[in-house]
Structure 1
Amino acid sequence: MQLYNLKHPSQKVSFAEAVKLGLGQDRGLFFPTEVPVVEDMAALLTLPFVKRSQEIVHLWLRDEMDRADSDALVAEAFNFDLPLNKVDDSRWCLELFHGPTLAFKDFGARFMAQCVNHLAGDEPLTILTATSGDTGAAVADAFYGLDKVQVVVLYPEGKISLLQEKMFTTLGKNIHTLAIAGDFDACQDLVKQAFEDADIRHGLRLNSANSINISRLLAQVCYYFEAVAQFQVANPGLAPVIAVPSGNFGNLTAGLLARAMGLPVKRFVAATNSNDTVPRFLASGQWQVNPTQATMSNAMDVSDPSNWPRVAALCERMGWGEETLSGVALTEAETQDAMRQLLVQGYQSEPHGAIAGAALKQTLTGDEKGLFLGTAHPAKFKDVVDRELQVELPLPPALAAVAGKPILSVRLQADFDLLKEFLFAKLG
């Protein structure tokens, strides 16, 4: 698998190099030079999820990793369910929150951890990542306790739910968390600056677990195949419309890569909250980044999504336009209504999934049917769900176990010099 830097196409790397580096020169994203195409899609879709995922990963890595090794990485990472539940006669929800940290990020984080563990060798390394909510927990859980890996997670102080925060700030050991006085974009910018700093990058053997890391995306490609496989059991031969809750746009990138491999998806809907840079761009052709707004769907509080260049590059390569990708943004009031409308249908959702469900409903036409991604367990947003739906959600065991633990984070201003000082004092 060869990848190139979208900003500097002359920089070409292998999958192993891309996993280790995270970002390329000048903060450039790595992108595959070729997308493998599935020869017998019907046969592939009949396979169980893990077996099918092993086939998909092998298609990408067959020139670089022994089949037995890649199969083992997949089997170790994907060991939980992802059911597709019917909401109404035209919509289904793929529930991606049945992993250890109750969010879709478990797929990418666990697979990346397996890849890093396989590729890193004996030298210690540092994972530096930013989170708008769920990445932090998934990454912390995936790497927790590994002897040669230190993890540093930056998150916007006061802008994620308390239960989200507790899932990754209460661990200790090799997990270090920084509560940054700023929004997610500020956290993300600090991570990018760290990767540009040679002292940090080389001195701490820096790597990133954000969706900018190609291993994360490769894992996420797999569950789109599972979504279509389950969807076609109820709707034989029908290509679904898929609505994706979108913040940093790694999730949508993975879906588009799956479609480029031949997966029968009619089109995608990028569903966002008030941070609507992409829906506005898709409607007007003008890329304008507004200040980030804090919302109840905080994992999507991203105004300048890092993965958008990958989306743009793939759409250009494949010749895809508005017939393949559209955007829908919901206000806070519309998000509240979306949650309530789903409950009327008998389906309980947190804000991110509800936004995608409403965006799907808005865009379905004629005899179209589709699915949306449920990216987090409702209890991860217990305060919001309880308030908006007038319920009292019980805490699942994973959340109950951390609810009473103290937060171990260090508070830090959004200042790169302070971050650098912390990193070397703690890990250098």
Structure 2
Amino acid sequence: MNLYNIKHPDQQVNFAQAVRQGLGKDQGLFFPATIPQLSNIDELLALPLVERSQKILRALIGDEIPADKLNAMVKNAFTFPAPVVKVAENIYALELFHGPTLAFKDFGGRFMAQALATVRGDGKITILTATSGDTGAAVAHAFYGLENIEVVILYPKGKISPLQEKLFCTLGGNIRTVAINADFDACQSLVKQAFDDEELRQAIGLNSANSINISRLLAQVCYYFEAAAQLNTEQRQNLVVSVPSGNFGNLTAGLIAKTLGLPIKRFIASTNANDTVPRYLQTGEWQPNATVATLSNAMDVSRPNNWPRVEELFKRNGWQLSELGSGALNDAETETALKAQYAQGYLCEPHGAIAYQVLKDQLQEGETGLFLCTAHPAKFKESVERILDIELPLPEALDKHNKLPLLSDEMDNDFATLRAYLLK
């Protein structure tokens, strides 16, 4: 598999190099030089999730990883289902929260751990990543206990849900967590500064595990095929997918699936009050505002890292950005949407509620709507219970961590401090 740096197309790497490096020169994102057009879509959709995903990832990655190894990577990563559930007339939910940390990030995090273990080579590796909520847990659990791999996760102090925090800040061992006194964009900026520090990168074998790493992104392509496989032929032909969007990795994966040939009519990027992309699509001007804290904290991102990949796909495929739907909900509208879903018999959480409502508002006659449910409602227990006036039992995966003490360090938004922390 050949990939290039979007900022510097002359910098080209293979899959193993892209997985190990994470980012290219000047924090450029690696992107596949070619994405094949699959001709056997109906045959693929008839296969089980793991077998289908093995074939999709083989088509993307090529022969660089032996077939038996790649098949084992997928089998070890995708050990849980992604069911499609009917919510309303012509509207379905793709539930991506049935993995060990109850969030969609389990697909990408677990596959990346498998990929890095396969291509790592010798020497120490330090995974440095920023999380706005769910990435931290998925990465921490995927890499926990792996030999010679240390994980450092930055998150905005007080700006993720308490249960999200407990899920990845109670492990210890090779997992270090740092609460930064700033917002998620500041955490992301610290990660980028670390990658720009060549001496630091070499000293600790720096790598990243958020959606800038190509292995995570490719893994996420697979569940779009899984969603289509659970719909009938007529529904697939008029499928509109609403993606709750923060860092825009999830939407990028969906667009790669469409490029491969999955019949998705159009996508909708659904955001909260951090609406940089919806405003950009309306005005043509990229004007990020200061990030604001919302009920849907995993989407509290005003400078989405993966947006260059989205634009690259549109440019390469000859698509127009005007074809990409978008919408944004504030917290009051999010609460209303969550209540509407619950009234219809479907229990959701703020991120999925936004994706549902924006989809519902934009779905046209004859179309089938699918929205992504990216986290279990119990991960947002306090807000969901308050909004819906219900009591939510904790799943065992959350309950056992909720009883453990937090092991996080606290740090100001200062790169020199972080650098010293990483080197010690």
Q: TM-score normalized by structure 2?
A: 0.99
Equivalent position SS for 2:402: coil
- Cα pair 2:244 2:354 within 8 Å, conserved: yes
1:211 aligns with 2:226: no
Deviations 1:271-301 (A, max 9, x none): 0000000000111111101000000100000
d(CA) in 1 for partners of 2:56, 2:237: 21
The CA deviation at 1:60 is 1.1
For 1:43, the aligned partner's letter is E
Q: Which residue of 1 aligns with 2:198?
A: 198
For 2:422, the aligned partner's letter is L
- Cα pair 1:94 1:227 within 8 Å, conserved: yes
d(CA) in 2 for partners of 1:45, 1:217: 20
Equivalent position SS for 1:107: helix
The CA deviation at 1:236 is 5.0
The CA deviation at 1:324 is 3.5
The CA deviation at 1:232 is 2.4
- Cα pair 1:130 1:155 within 8 Å, conserved: yes
- Cα pair 2:235 2:367 within 8 Å, conserved: no
- Cα pair 2:314 2:321 within 8 Å, conserved: no
d(CA) in 2 for partners of 1:323, 1:185: 27
Matches for 1:87-236 after TM superposition, within 5 Å:
87-232=87-232, 235=234
The CA deviation at 1:66 is 1.1
d(CA) in 2 for partners of 1:239, 1:213: 31
For 1:134, the aligned partner's letter is D
Equivalent position SS for 1:63: helix
User: Deviating runs (4+, > 2 A) in structure 1?
Assistant: 235-239
d(CA) in 2 for partners of 1:264, 1:323: 19
Measured at CA, do residues 36 and 79 of structure 1 come closer, stay the same or move farther in structure 2, by a change above 3 Å? Answer: same
d(CA) in 2 for partners of 1:52, 1:278: 32
d(CA) in 2 for partners of 1:217, 1:318: 18
User: What is the count of residue pairs matched by the alignment?
Assistant: 424
The CA deviation at 1:160 is 0.1
The CA deviation at 1:121 is 2.6
For 1:356, the aligned partner's letter is A
Q: Which residue of 1 aligns with 2:269?
A: 270
- Cα pair 2:252 2:309 within 8 Å, conserved: yes
d(CA) in 2 for partners of 1:361, 1:283: 20
1:341 aligns with 2:343: no
The CA deviation at 1:366 is 1.6
- Cα pair 1:122 1:148 within 8 Å, conserved: no
For 2:16, the aligned partner's letter is A
Q: Which residue of 2 aligns with 1:331?
A: 330
d(CA) in 1 for partners of 2:71, 2:93: 27
d(CA) in 2 for partners of 1:8, 1:322: 23
d(CA) in 2 for partners of 1:158, 1:368: 40
d(CA) in 2 for partners of 1:386, 1:329: 23
Equivalent position SS for 1:87: strand
The CA deviation at 1:411 is 0.4
Equivalent position SS for 1:128: strand
The CA deviation at 1:323 is 5.7
Q: Which residue of 1 aligns with 2:354?
A: 355
The CA deviation at 1:217 is 0.5
The CA deviation at 1:113 is 0.1
Unaligned runs of 5+ in 2: none
d(CA) in 1 for partners of 2:272, 2:54: 34
For 1:200, the aligned partner's letter is L
Q: TM-score normalized by structure 1?
A: 0.98
Q: Which residue of 2 aligns with 1:24?
A: 24
For 1:421, the aligned partner's letter is A
d(CA) in 2 for partners of 1:351, 1:15: 35
The CA deviation at 1:320 is 1.3
The CA deviation at 1:63 is 2.9
The CA deviation at 1:97 is 0.2
d(CA) in 2 for partners of 1:15, 1:154: 26
Q: Which residue of 2 aligns with 1:238?
A: 237
For 2:31, the aligned partner's letter is F
- Cα pair 1:271 1:329 within 8 Å, conserved: yes
Equivalent position SS for 1:373: strand
d(CA) in 2 for partners of 1:361, 1:291: 28
Q: Which residue of 2 aligns with 1:55?
A: 55
Q: Percent identity?
A: 59
Measured at CA, do residues 70 and 12 of structure 1 come closer, stay the same or move farther in structure 2, by a change above 3 Å? Answer: same
C-alpha RMSD of matched pairs (Å): 0.9
Equivalent position SS for 2:313: helix
Equivalent position SS for 1:37: coil
Q: Which residue of 2 aligns with 1:293?
A: 292
For 1:36, the aligned partner's letter is P
Unaligned runs of 5+ in 1: none
The CA deviation at 1:124 is 1.6
- Cα pair 1:274 1:329 within 8 Å, conserved: yes
Equivalent position SS for 2:326: strand
- Cα pair 1:228 1:239 within 8 Å, conserved: no
Q: Which residue of 1 aligns with 2:301?
A: 302
- Cα pair 1:231 1:240 within 8 Å, conserved: no
